[in-house]
Structure 1
Amino acid sequence: MYLGCLSFKFLATSSLGFIASVFATQIPLSEFKTTVVDNGPHVDHARANAPHIFNALHSSMRQWGSSLKHNGMSFFTVSIPNNTLLYHGTHSKDPVISMEWLAFEIEHAEVFARMRRPGGPGRNPPGGRPGERPPPGGPYGPPGKEPPIGRLIRKDNETTTYGYLHIYRTSRPLTKLLYLDGMSAGKTSMGTLDTQDYVMCKDSNSNSTNPFGDFIRAECMCKLGAEYGFEGIIRMEAGFELILCNFSMNLEFITANQRPRYDAPEGVMDSTHFEYIRGVAARYHGITAGRVKVDYSSMVSAYFYPLNLTNPDASRPDLPRLPTSDEEGLARLKADTLGMFSGDSGTETVDWQGVVDMIVTRYSERLQYLASPNLTDRAALSEINFLLSAFIDYTDLNIPSAIEGCSRIYLPPMTSPTRSDGLIYEAIVTVTRKVCSTLFEVRGILLEGKEGGSMTMKPNTAIRELIEFLDWSTWLECGKCAYDEVCYVAIWPWGDVEDHEKPGCVKNDHDISRRGGYWEGFGSH
């Protein structure tokens, strides 16, 4: 069987004859398969988990989709170019020389660079710093227990520790980085840490049920990096972070700017949380400027393997989990992830996110339109004819072949695919085939009605079932918010259940730091 499977001869004389040549150079599917082992990756698993793989590609290095699909199950190799600015918040002016955390956005690092209030340590931002347990109720303490930031008055007999915003610049390209998708820096008990606690660091001393052992996780992964050839880890919480295993070898220290006093006019920042989230929201669809390049052809995903991803919490079947997966399968997943760094980094890669983006932008809004209960049959048929007509040769009507042409139109030819490329290809074509076959099914229903027959089902019923199958994050987007609002989705450690299920625009007079209840474990206010 070939990836360009099913005959494309019908295209030879049609207006889409070019599609045939596109698939002529495709690699046989059999060449994508490795030696068959019980716990290895396989095309059957990629097909079975196709919507999840599709959505993982669409959401990778994007805050929006990764916040909604927060239990990441996939790993990628990524790189950061030379001369990229990175930020670090701390309470020391001295440059960091060993392992530490870096932010891609100033707002993210500023949260950690706050001047430490009187009363000593332990009043840290989301997640604390390495090895420290954060306070309950968000970065500024339990709800209702403390005055807003910028309103704190220092007593004469109390001392303060100033915070510093460090600015660094990469001194060379960082080409060997590991990206863990989802909200993998979210310290919850919901599964956000599963790929670290059950795969990468299963044998370390980090208690898999303890969300606060972040220093141990970072130390564990950096030890693996030293052995297998990667120099840092990218994760996401309210913003993307880089755990860099060695600052001194990779960064140029630019400056350390002292932050203002809380009781000084310069320290009045009542809207700090809102502006932080506004900064996060500006990166919902990517951190921009080419600051991180993802090698999608390197993808290793639990969705490729015969792993049990069922959530032990029966009330959340939508969240994949790893605790009940077998040890051998998890060990194979870890070995393949570490093996990503042993190959030739110069291999040509496929921009699978770009492919997925083309599919989503073509169908996302149109499927919502077709699902409308008030849409007339004529309007629905007009829309579907627009979407499908290009794939039909009306001189030789062949619907199965038209479905295949529709399913593969955005998929690129691959002459030297990686194993991951083959699995990704099959996952994407499984999704697009579902889209195209459903649209042709609805077309048939509508044409049946036009010809005087009785419709076997309501056209928008099939479309709504398709939307449920696809589960695209675009359908939960807020749209354009007012200038004094931000599109707000639950992002650890903030947000309630409604913020996760129905994100919406929130005004800047809301204290976002007090919104909680969604996240289990720390951050569940």
Structure 2
Amino acid sequence: MSSADKCRPQLVVPMPSTATIPKAVFWIFLVIGQVLTAQVPLPPTSASGDRCDLSGQWNLDEQPATNATGNLVFETANSLLQHWANTRYRNGHTIVPGTVPVGTILYHGAIMGPHVPTALDWVATEPDHSMLFCMGEVKSGCLHVTFVVTRPMKVLYFDGSSAALFSEGSMDTQDLMAWSEMKPEWALNEYQRIEDLCKWGQKYGLNGFVRMQMNFEMMICNFTSHMEVVSSLNLETLHLKLKNGQPTEDLNTMHSTFELMHSASWREAYPGETQVILDYSGLVSFYDTALVPSLVPRRVGLERWDHRVAGISSEDMERVKDRLIQVLEQPPVTASGIDWKTVLRLVVDRYASRLDVMQYLLNTTLDDTHILLDHAEKVQRQLRTVLTPYTVLAAVPSYTSVTSDTQNSWAVPVFRECVTSHMSSISISARGTTLTPSERLLLQALQETTREICRVATRMWASGLTAGVDPFYPANKRPDADHIRTLMDEWKKDLRGLMSWLDWSVWVKCRPACNVEEICYLPTWPIGFFPPPYDFPESQNSARSQTMENTSLPDPNKGEWKRPQPKCIRRLGPYGF
């Protein structure tokens, strides 16, 4: 037996074979076994500080470090290529290499002309988006080109609303790659940006760059090397009527604008934009405190809305570019073979809805004692469900042995099993391989995130069991109302702190839910932005330039545009954003 195994409670309850006894007797035996093991004390902890002493690393009262970023790395990685989360937090902090597979269909709209694009231009992943740029005179119509990818395209993805053309942080990461500095005065200088990004990326075999605004788009460096034209059509224009870059109350204009946002909603949640396959083993994060230590003090005291890559030191910037070059020069295959996208998502799936329903139960105002106890028992059931796979038999104490244990140290094995179960699976999966620096960062983020979830869940569950509100182990005496209310107040504080720290966008939704004639919407650049005047770069003869010239820059310090909040908007006329 290993030293690690010796630290685990070792208890064997003899069970008869199900083949030799009636099923009803088997279940009775199981229940008796549960009751008996509830009275078995844990092995004594060592005062010598050996591995059996769990009071340090597994302290149920130890919160994450103030400057820890595991939660931020986790949620940004879990939200890649998802429209909702990257609309909510526009200032991206992650750059990831990826591939656009063969057979992917892409779209390009332009003013009617004699040629389809061959280099340095934009495509959309949905025709509802590209049609916005299909502009021209009523008589001549517009050009709409459909492409198919014929060879896998090597791309680089910038997270956040990286195609939102304003100077408050959304374009920081790509500006660093293009110019090695932020140039807020060039926020709308898209042609210089694509030219310099493609020039930089050519050295590393990049075919394009993936960004997001109203929907996902790609900056294409060469249209002839990896794509072929499926169709090139002279279409009727949408006849959009804009004022200061915003849709007017014209019904056709509002309908087209809504349908563009509607198409983005298909990619708002997991799995997001599936036409781009990201290589998580090459992920580079500006929340990586070992890689980018200069940004740590700049985030102190700031909400995530205000996090910027601006302010990075020149040394850290060079370190990021060196890491990214290493990533781009290696084969686009994960070193370990671990599917990090799924690993991260499984954690969210396992906990998000249960934490959400517990928050609902705890936020309900209750005066009736019976209903109060009912809600406490329901929360306790949810906590027990969360921890069931980790509730080792020897870790459930008798009530008399824990009433004076305010630290709930008897529950530490449950906490430990909850955390290490996630980590052990990764360790086994990666056996015999070497994790890349990106994978080690993701593993650390996974560990920090699951540790805090398991810590808070175990702490709450242990408190509920001790207080006598666990339906599985009913107390001899019903707890009084004041005791229950105190418990629920403590629970509410713990759960609020956990969910605020995790800050998962899956919890950001319209409450109450929208009706059938509505969809839930987060304010998205550039729809609805009304900023001060701005000097635009000289126009170039393209639909994109013409559209940009009519677009205003947002004031990022006002209301819902700084902190987007979900709201229901109509999906049928009359519209309104």
TM-score band, normalised by the shorter chain? 0.7 to 0.9
Residue 297 of structure 1: which of 274, 281, 286 is its match?
281
Q: Which has the higher contact order (CA 8 A, sep 6+)?
A: 1
Per-residue deviation, 1:307? 2.8
Deviation of 1:323 (Å): 2.0
Q: Secondary structure at the match of 2:324?
A: helix
AA in 2 matched with 1:278? H
SS of alignment partner, residue 432 of structure 1:
helix
Match of 1:325 in 2: 312
Aligned Cα root-mean-square deviation (Å): 3.2
Q: After superposing the two structures, state which structure 1 stretch, 276-285 or 372-381, moved more.
A: 372-381
Identity, % of aligned positions: 23
The match for 1:373 is 363
Aligned residues: 435
Q: Does 1:356 align with 2:329?
A: no
More helix, by proportion = 2
Is 1:491 paired with 2:524?
yes
Matches within 5 A, 1:409-448: 409-411=421-423, 412=426, 413-415=429-431, 416=433, 417-448=435-466
The runs of 5 or more residues in structure 1 that have no matched partner are: 16-43, 118-159, 516-525
Q: Do structure 1's residue 503 and structure 2's residue 566 form an aligned pair?
A: yes
Matched ranges for 1:67-106 at <5 A: 67-91=87-111, 92=113, 94-106=115-127
Indicate if the aligned counterparts of 1:73 and 1:195 stay in contact, CA closer than 8 A. yes
Asked if 2 retains the 8 angstrom alpha-carbon contact of 1:202 and 1:208, the reply is no
**In structure 2, how many angstroms separate the alpha carbons of the residues matched to 1:99 and 1:45?**
45
* 1:308-344 Cα deviation digits (max 9, x unpaired): 1666998866321122221111111122112211113
Q: Tell me by how many angstroms 1:430 deviates.
A: 0.4
The alpha-carbon deviation at position 6 of structure 1 amounts to 6.7
What's 1:383 paired with?
382
Whether the 8 Å contact between 1:446 and 1:459 is mirrored in structure 2 is no
- Where in structure 2 are the equivalents of 1:115-514 lying within 5 Å? 115-116=136-137, 161-174=140-153, 176-197=154-175, 199-203=176-180, 207-261=183-237, 270-285=254-269, 290-304=274-288, 305-308=292-295, 318-348=305-335, 349-371=337-359, 372-374=362-364, 376-395=375-394, 399-411=411-423, 412=426, 413-415=429-431, 416=433, 417-450=435-468, 458-478=490-510, 481-495=514-528, 497-498=559-560, 500-507=563-570, 508-509=572-573, 511-512=575-576
Match of 1:108 in 2: 129
Which amino acid is 1:361 matched to?
D
Alpha-carbon separation, structure 1, partners of 2:298 and 2:137: 39
2 CA distance for matches of 1:8 and 1:493?
60
| Contact kept in structure 1, 2:122 and 2:220, CA below 8 Å | yes
Distance in 1, Cα, partners of 2:10 & 2:201: 51
Residue in 1 that maps onto 2:8: 10
- Counterpart residue identity of residue 490, structure 1: P
One-letter amino acid matched to 1:66: N
Residue pair 1:45, 1:303 contacting (<8 A) in 2 also: no
Secondary structure, in 3 states, of the residue corresponding to 2:394? Answer: coil
SS in 1 for 2:116: coil
Contact 2:213-2:524 at 8 Å conserved across structures: yes
User: Does the 8 Å contact 2:101/2:152 carry over to 1?
Assistant: yes
2:331 alignment partner AA: D
Whole-Å separation in 2 of the counterparts to 1:378 and 1:194: 48
Q: What residue ranges of structure 2 are gaps of 5+ in the alignment?
A: 14-63, 241-250, 365-371, 397-409, 469-474, 530-558
TM-score by length of 1: 0.75
Counterparts of 1:5 and 1:510 in 2: how far apart (Å)? 69
Give me the whole-angstrom Cα distance separating, in 1, the residues matched to 2:124 and 2:75: 25
Give 1:269 deviation, angstroms: 5.7
Contact 2:395 2:413 in 1 (8 A): no
What's the CA shift string for 1:121-155, capped at 9, x where partnerless? xxxxxxxxxxxxxxxxxxxxxxxxxxxxxxxxxxx
Contact 1:308 1:325 in 2 (8 A): yes
Deviations 1:347-385 (A, max 9, x none): 454322212211112211211221232362111111111
Give the aligned residue type for 1:389: T
Q: Deviations over 1:426-459 (max 9, x none)?
A: 1111011101100111112222322669557521
- State the one-letter code of the partner of 1:502: Q
In structure 2, C-alpha distance between the alignment counterparts of 1:93 and 1:447, rounded to whole Å: 75
TM-score of the pair, normalised by structure 2: 0.69
Kept in 2: contact 1:310–1:317 (CA 8 A): no
* Partner Cα separation in structure 2 for residue 420 and residue 446 of structure 1: 39
Structure 2 CA distance for aligned equivalents of residues 482 and 467 of structure 1: 27
Query: In 2 relative to 1, CA 313–45 (structure 1 residues): closer, same or farther, beyond 3 Å?
Result: closer
- Structure 1 range deviating more: 486-495 or 315-324: 315-324
SS in 2 for 1:248: coil
**Which amino acid in structure 1 is aligned with residue 380 of structure 2?**
L
**AA matched with 1:509:** G
